[in-house]
Chain A
Amino acid sequence: MRSTTFRLTAAALAVTALTAGCADRGGVSEDAADYPSQDITLVVPYDAGGASDLAARTLAARMEDSLGQSIIVENRSGGAGSVGLENLAGRAADGYSIGYLPVETVMLGYQGYDVDPGAYDLVGQMVSVPATIAVPEDSPYETLDDLVEAARSEPGALSVSNSGAGSIWEAATTELGRATETEFQPVPFDGGAPAVTAAVGGQVDAVVAGISETAPAHADGRLRVLALFDSQPSDSLPGVETAAEQGVDVVIGGWGGIGAPAGLPDEVRTKLEEAFSEAADSDEFRTIIADSGNIPVNVPSEEFSEFVDQEHTRFGALLEGQD
């Protein structure tokens, strides 16, 4: 009763607000073989305008081409992404609700939120944002080794900024300390840009942030990226070695993919996966992601699911170990 009223109100408001898509489908029953016969909603757990939103919107535009239906992007931000992720998990598994799943999907469950990667059928991974560590241009540290040595001589004295408490970049800082058997002092800021600024301005000793956030400052010479935490070097950071190449075996970073509430019918799932793969391979998608400084990928459902399982176990150890 209450939920009916809620849905009616929500629907009425959504129609009036030009920006929102209609959430209520009025219980139209239909055959999975006809899928898709109406608009699809894509939930993005962040505000409009950010890098994740841009990636999701670009992919959605390409997926529309192969599915032949409109994909309406709905931003449901808040609670570090948990608001949107919980909202998606609670929707019908009919393929008309899909969502953008960020790395936080496997982290938030350990941070007191009701988010579980098992609640989603994964369609594919489309973007990867490896972590980097960078120092101010006038920093005495020239290599990752210099920085680690300095941290070892006085554990916890080196301040390393990141985008926020509980963020993937804070976890990456902890992981780096753990792998090198020392300790850094993570300093959470209110967003990635202020964290990078703090390093540019010399307020902190180093910053851990995604490649798209440090690469431009590295190119200008305002920051010096010491290491990339990926399995291979990147074109956008010429001359920068991976951490593994410098003897620190850490691969960590953000990622993003598409998922749907668990329990999709097989036909629907196949169609979504095909449309996803085609979109993620399109030149337009790859160019826009690469231009924004991140790495476009196209990881199929099965492989992505395995990866997400591994990540879930890994962050369990990393995040719960902290407490």
Chain B
Amino acid sequence: MSPIVEGFSALLDPMVLLCIAAGALLGMLVGAFPGVTATMAVALASGFTLSLEPLPGLAVLLTIYVAANFGDRVPAILVNTPGTPASIATTFDGYAMARQGRAGLALTSSAFASAWGTLVGVVLLMVAAIPLSRLALNFGPAEMFALVVFGLTMMIGVSGGRIVKGLMAGGLGLLLGAVGRDPITGTPRFTFGLPELSDGIPFIAAIIGLFGIAEVMNQILVHRRGREAEPIKEFGRWFPRRSDWRTMLKPMAIGSGVGGVVGIVPATGGDIAGILGWDQARRASKRPEEFGKGSLEGITAADTSSNATLGGSVTTTLALGLPGDSVMAVMIGSMVVWGIQPGPSLFANQPDLVYSIAGIMLIATVVALVISVLRMRGVAKLLELPQHFLWAVILVFCMVGTYAVNNSVLDVAVMLVFGLVGLFLKRFGIPPGPVVLGLILGGLAEGNLRRALEIGGPENILTSPIALGLLAVSALALVVPPLRTAWGARRARARAASENTTTPAP
């Protein structure tokens, strides 16, 4: 009991609380600015926090990490541009809700879902850190490959009912994922001799283009002088009603589970978890057809799931000394300099520190939630701008943000090209979600499959129970939905037939 008390009471230092407040404001801003990811913000902030004591330093960095995962929802919902990759899935339903005049409800419920997700993750960190992280260690290349294959089956889910077009988009994403150096031999592929492309298509630039730029260009295209296309001014009601809460309950539970597991797996973060959580909730939903068209369940599941990874990522980092995601990779660097050596001995040597970290994240969540809920009416002001000013502001933000990622003009060019690609997809009704999935998962699938084969040939995969289990689940995920539809159709026909026979002809 005493490490818990000690860990939490260490946070009562006013300096620590001040650092949490500073980190929360910074994180929200950073999140809301497309292109500036939590990873980058933490990396830049760590240049300043190294001179602080460990606890205030951690308070700044961890709070930025948490708060950025609240702030990034705002541009995702209001302008269809993910503030950080973790909010890709937020755009699916969030933006649709905003267009239906339910932006207020989308923002508030997203904030509550995000807060709930973070809390679940932190509880996971406190309760189950060590046993759960042992499990993560069993994930070698073979198991990772199987997990990624399972992820690829989600393409059908995120296609929003347009399966053929969705698969085309997914194929495009997989092809784009092949750009860059071969993961095993290092030979450049499809790079056109540009060294900037040898690490693959710049991901942030691609998603800002696909979602943000494409949306702005589409609005400019459909805009007619005189007949003002309504910008999102209608926020509708802000707070969820009792019936809304009931709707949100199930997707929150699903999102917590999915995000918790994805968070524990090393090197996977909120972007994948958001999409995965959204898709699982859709499968379990009574109204799957609403997903992608402004479903409250969809946005709740996506945001809960992507934030539930935070605790898991910290768990993996602290318990194994391995970065749980890219933000934690940066944070490990600072921790080592502070004399905190992440790894199994941390729990033995400094158990109170683990609770301090959990405590910082809990306070950060509450602060971020309060800021989110209070500040939203301020955000509304931005949207009262005439639409053409708003377009200009969004374009400038997207450009500056994308340039700032790597100080690279090529990234800006990639963003614009993806903007055109996104516009093309939009005009022809092809969903952009599968493109992103293919782009994230294609490279992961290839790298891990080939690594597994290098290590031990096909037996390496075939002898792993975890890998086989995941592959079996993937096969089921592909086969069951069409079968269920077929059964459903047959049953309906049978019912219709029996009704025909029993109903006497008039």
Contacts and interface: CB of A to CB of B under 8 A. Distances in A.
Interface of A: 6, 9-10, 13-14, 16-20, 47-51, 53-54, 57, 74-80, 82-83, 86, 111-114, 159, 164-166, 185, 187-191, 193-194, 196-198, 200-201, 203-204, 216-217, 219-220, 222, 288, 291-293
Contacts of B455: 159, 185, 187, 203-204
B351 to A, nearest CB: 16
Contact of A83 (B50, B188, B408, B454): B408
A51 B137 contact: no
Contacts of B409: 6, 9-10
Dominant secondary structure of chain B at its interface with chain A: helix
Contact of B408 (A49, A54, A78): A78
B479 interface: no
Contacts of B356: none
A96 B72 CA distance: 37
Nearest to B46: A49
Contacts of A10: 409
Given A166-B181, A200-B320, A82 B195 contact: yes
A49 B322 contact: no
Contact of B140 (A111, A113, A114, A198): A198
Given A159-B454, A197-B266, A74 B407 contact: yes
Contacts of A53: 43
A77 B336 CA distance: 23
Interface centre among A9, A49, A75 (most CB of B within 10 A): A49
Contacts of B447: 190
Contacts of A112: 187-188
Contact of B404 (A20, A50, A76, A190): A20
Count chain B CB atoms within 10 A of each CB in A57, A79, A222 and give the residue with the most.
A79
A165 B140 contact: no
B199 interface: yes
A292 B342 CA distance: 12
Nearest to B42: A49
Given A13-B400, A78-B199, A188-B183, A193 B406 contact: no
Given A74-B407, A165-B186, A293-B336, A79 B195 contact: yes
A14 B322 CA distance: 34
B40 A48 contact: yes
B320 to A, nearest CB: 7
Contact of A187 (B39, B333, B408, B454): B454
A62 B399 CA distance: 34
B141 A19 contact: no
Interface string B396-427: 00011101101111001000000000000000
A230 to B, nearest CB: 20
Nearest to A79: B195
B140 A201 contact: yes
B407 A20 contact: yes
A292 B44 contact: no
22 contacts: A10-B409, A17-B401, A49-B46, A75-B406, A75-B407, A78-B198, A79-B198, A80-B198, A113-B195, A165-B185, A165-B186, A166-B186, A194-B267, A197-B137, A197-B266, A197-B322, A198-B140, A200-B137, A203-B140, A216-B321, A288-B337, A292-B336
Nearest to A21: B407
A203 B451 CA distance: 10
B141 A203 contact: yes
B330 interface: yes
A106 B196 CA distance: 19
A53 B47 CA distance: 10
B343 A194 contact: no
B454 A185 contact: yes
Contact of A220 (B266, B333, B339, B345): B345
A37 B39 CA distance: 34
Contacts of A49: 39, 42-43, 46, 329-330, 333
Nearest to A57: B47
B184 interface: yes
A79 B196 contact: yes
Interface string B321-340: 11100000110110011010
Contacts of A187: 141, 451, 454-455
A80 B188 CA distance: 11
A222 B195 CA distance: 37
Nearest to B40: A48
Nearest to A83: B195
B140 A17 contact: no
Point out which of A17, A111, A222 has the most chain B C-beta atoms below 10 A from its C-beta: A17
B183 A190 contact: yes
Contact of B403 (A6, A13, A74, A291): A13
A131 to B, nearest CB: 18
A291 B339 contact: yes
Given A82-B195, A220-B345, A201 B137 contact: yes
A24 B402 CA distance: 19
Contacts of B141: 187, 198, 203
A69 B406 CA distance: 24
A222 to B, nearest CB: 7
A201 B321 contact: no
B336 A165 contact: no
A13 B36 CA distance: 14
Given A47-B43, A49-B329, A292-B337, 15 more contacts: A13-B404, A48-B43, A48-B330, A57-B47, A77-B406, A78-B198, A78-B406, A165-B181, A191-B329, A193-B266, A200-B137, A216-B341, A219-B341, A222-B343, A288-B337
Interface string B170-202: 000000000001111111100000011011000
A257 B267 CA distance: 30
A222 B343 CA distance: 9
A198 B140 CA distance: 6
Given A79-B198, A193-B323, A216 B343 contact: yes
A292 B333 contact: yes
Nearest to B43: A49
Given A189-B451, A200-B137, A51 B333 contact: yes
B188 to A, nearest CB: 6
Contacts of A164: 186
B50 to A, nearest CB: 8
Interface in B186-227: 186-188, 195-196, 198-199
Nearest to A76: B407
Contacts of B330: 48-50
A188 B184 contact: yes
B344 A222 contact: yes
Contacts of A204: 455
A288 B46 CA distance: 13
B361 to A, nearest CB: 20
Given A14-B407, A17-B400, A159-B456, A48 B451 contact: no
B345 A219 contact: yes
Contacts of B403: 13-14, 17, 20
Contacts of B39: 49
Contacts of B42: 49
A47 to B, nearest CB: 7
B8 interface: no
A51 B336 CA distance: 11
B333 A201 contact: no
B61 to A, nearest CB: 10
A213 to B, nearest CB: 10
B235 interface: no
B139 interface: yes
